[in-house]
Amino acid sequence: MGLFSPILGAMTGKAQHVIPNGNKWSVRRTGAERASKVFETQGEAVAQAKRLARNQAVNIYVHGRDGRIAKRIPFNPDLFSYKD
């Protein structure tokens, strides 16, 4: 990974999304047709999205039950982590 790769990852439009999936929650990368994993709770899905997104240096979008984006968790390239 190059020196600026984490910064560029967050700027490419790619992201991890936590979305409702029936009575469960899925984690899905932007543009993916299938979820990477399904969880019982939104909190579990957010934790997985953070693990995946950290490696990709991308933002996380948490959707509400209505499917609309309820929260954006931005990647912080200075800390290589997330601000909640």
Judge whether 22 lies within some domain.
yes
- Has this prediction a pTM greater than 0.75? yes
Which DSSP string do the residues of the chain spell out, in sequence order? --TTHHHHHHHSS-EEEEEEETTEEEEEETT-SS-SEEESSHHHHHHHHHHHHHHHT-EEEEE-TTSSEEEEE-EETTTTEE--
Residues 21-63 have pLDDT tens digits of: 999 999 999 999 999 999 999 999 999 999 998 888 899 999 9
Indicate the number of domains in the chain.
1
Judge whether 81 lies within some domain.
no
Residues 13-31 have pLDDT tens digits of: 789 999 999 999 999 999 9
Residue span of the structural domain in which 35 resides = 5-75
Are the C-beta atoms of residues 49 and 60 closer than 8 Å to each other? yes
Judge whether 84 lies within some domain.
no
